Amino acid sequence: MTVNSQFDMTGRQAIVTGGCGLLGVTFAEALLEAGATVHLIDIDEQALTTHSAQLAQTFGDRIQTHICDITDEDTVKRCIAVIAQNGAIDALINSAAVDPKFEPGENGEYRDTGRFSTYGVENWRRSLEVNLTGTFLMTRETSRIMEDQDDGKGRGSIVCISSTYGLTGPDQRIYENTDSPERFFKPVDYSTTKAGVLGFVRAVAAYYRETGIRVNALTPGGAYNGHDSAFTEAYSSRTILGRMAAPDEYKGSIVFLCSDAASYMTGANLIVDGGWTAL
């Protein structure tokens, strides 16, 4: 195969959960640009309408949307059954997550400061539910379809999105220097669930040994999203490249992992973090 044909996803069908997120939408865009039909799944109905309208202008009916809470087993089952009616499912990207952001609201206050000693168990439980149980449900329902593909030999690519904070503890110093009246801490549930995603990837990849179902993780570093200059500088200084990522710098990685270009890759973690975890 030529390198172009290895990356070509024409005629393939892909699912992106959390498809309305900052990175989720660029993952969808990348797969559309590579030729795939993309099913955007999100819990946020309004954002789904907005993003699908924008993407449809370029990609027409190759973009489909599904309102789905990935933590609800029956809803996930129905959603995957509807998608499977359109044909084979070639790729699943588990991108939906609870990711407490360092982005204060209008009053400069955070919804939750992330302080460990007062951290709400409901926040902890919600993160585990979305980031791990939702990933489990989506993967289980999709893999059942993938198992039957290629005459029962199994075929498909599953990509779970982790984070640098799944590999290292959050560097709480980068959240210190801020104009906000409150001190923000990146909460512990984020690192815990993102580390869990990496274990999940290895376990499911190992389960599908000697099949055509590949399971990998993508570990992105922080993407710039209008953060204040103090945070941007503090974050950037922790990377080798000296900057945050632009969201579209993950497009090539997601197409690589979903396509035949990564046909000999499973149980792996692709780290694209500007060198954050190398230091």
Ligand X SMILES: NC(=O)c1ccc[n+]([C@@H]2O[C@H](COP(=O)([O-])OP(=O)(O)OC[C@H]3O[C@@H](n4cnc5c(N)ncnc54)[C@H](O)[C@@H]3O)[C@@H](O)[C@H]2O)c1
Residues binding ligand X (CB under 6 A): 17-18, 20-24, 42-44, 47, 68-71, 95-97, 99, 130, 134, 161, 163, 220, 222-223
> Please, which residue, 56 or 128, has the CB nearer to ligand X?
128
| Backbone CA torsion sign across 57, 59, 60, 64 | negative
Q: How far is the CB of 198 from ligand X (least distance, A)?
A: 12
Q: How far is the CB of 153 from ligand X (least distance, A)?
A: 30
User: Could you tell me which residues come within 8 angstroms of residue 169 by beta carbon, excluding any fewer than 6 positions away?
Assistant: 191
Cα–Cα distance list, 261 to 5, 71, 113, 115, 254 (Å): 8, 31, 42, 43, 11
Where helices occur in 85-163 by DSSP H, the ranges are 121-127, 135-148
- Which residue is associated with the tokens 């585990």? 128
> Please, which residue, 111 or 153, has the CB nearer to ligand X?
111
Q: How far is the CB of 220 from ligand X (least distance, A)?
A: 4
> Please, which residue, 95 or 149, has the CB nearer to ligand X?
95
> Please, which residue, 18 or 114, has the CB nearer to ligand X?
18
Q: How far is the CB of 64 from ligand X (least distance, A)?
A: 15
Q: How far is the CB of 11 from ligand X (least distance, A)?
A: 26
Cα–Cα distance list, 39 to 51, 192, 215 (Å): 12, 28, 19
> Please, which residue, 26 or 178, has the CB nearer to ligand X?
26
Report the candidate in 104, 169, 168, 146 with the shortest Cα–Cα distance to residue 266.
Answer: 146
How many Å apart are CA 30 and CA 228, to the nearest integer?
Answer: 28
In the numeric block, which tokens belong to residue 158?
């599953």
> Please, which residue, 196 or 222, has the CB nearer to ligand X?
222
> Please, which residue, 47 or 84, has the CB nearer to ligand X?
47
How many Å apart are CA 98 and CA 125, to the nearest integer?
Answer: 11
Q: Looking at beta carbons, which residue is closest to ligand X?
A: 21
Query: Chain centroid to CA 275: how far?
Result: 19
Q: How far is the CB of 229 from ligand X (least distance, A)?
A: 17
Q: How far is the CB of 13 from ligand X (least distance, A)?
A: 19
- The phi, psi pair for 206, rounded to 5°, reads -65, -35
How many Å apart are CA 279 and CA 276, to the nearest integer?
Answer: 6
